[in-house]
């Protein structure tokens, strides 16, 4: 089976709300994310996708990575998940998704309507009430519980 690397961001604002987008192609609410571009690391891809899809600037929150002057460290993801994808162009394949927890620098939404139907800040408890992938409410709730430790 073909595998693609993707990166996503579970972004929280200062009120503790989470940023979700309504994905045009699959008709579900998701956190922002997409494919990792050539010459891009997963952390860069996650932040780029947030800006592209929502207009929100964010920063990754993670435990302090290994540091040494001879190398560049990439922030570790909150989770790495693999899922089956159905796509009319590519056909069935799998995404290996690097999921990061992020804090928004601004709350202003400017959804890129060619990619997403809309973007919204939602209370964490509201996520389970939306049309979302099965794992999404648990991932968002777990990320929200970890926020105080990462700030």
Q: For 103-131, how does the pLDDT look when each residue is reduced to its tens digit (9 = 90+)? A: 999 989 988 877 788 999 999 999 999 99
Residue 60: predicted pLDDT = 97
E strand map for 24-106: 29-30, 33-35, 58-61, 79-85, 93-104
Write down the pLDDT at residue 21: 96
Residues facing residue 93 across a β-bridge: 85
pLDDT for residue 91: 81
pLDDT (0 to 100) of residue 1: 81
Interatomic CA distance for residues 117 and 52, integer angstroms:
13
Instruction: Say what the pLDDT of residue 25 is.
Output: 80
- What pLDDT score was predicted for residue 151? 62
Q: What is the pLDDT of residue 102?
A: 97
Q: Which residues of the chain have pLDDT under 50?
A: none
Nearest-angstrom CA–CA distance, 106 and 7: 21
Run of H or E including 146: helix 136-150
CA angle (120, 117, 102) in 5-degree steps: 40
DSSP character for 73? Answer: P
Name the pTM for this structure.
0.93
pLDDT of res. 146: 92
């Amino acid at each position: 089976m073909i595998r693609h690397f993707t990166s996503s961001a579970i972004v929280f604002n200062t009120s503790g709300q989470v940023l979700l987008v309504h994905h045009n192609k699959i008709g579900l609410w998701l956190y922002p994310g997409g494919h990792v571009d050539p010459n891009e690391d997963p952390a860069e891809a996650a932040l780029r996708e947030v800006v592209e899809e929502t207009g929100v600037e964010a920063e990754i929150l993670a435990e302090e990575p290994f540091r040494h002057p001879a190398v560049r460290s990439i922030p570790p993801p909150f989770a790495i998940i693999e899922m089956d994808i159905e796509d009319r162009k590519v056909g069935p394949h799998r995404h290996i998704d690097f999921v990061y927890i992020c804090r928004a620098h601004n709350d202003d939404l400017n959804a890129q309507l060619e990619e997403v139907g809309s973007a919204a800040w939602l209370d964490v408890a509201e996520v389970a009430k939306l049309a979302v992938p099965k794992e999404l409410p648990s991932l968002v709730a777990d990320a929200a519980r970890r926020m105080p430790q990462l700030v």
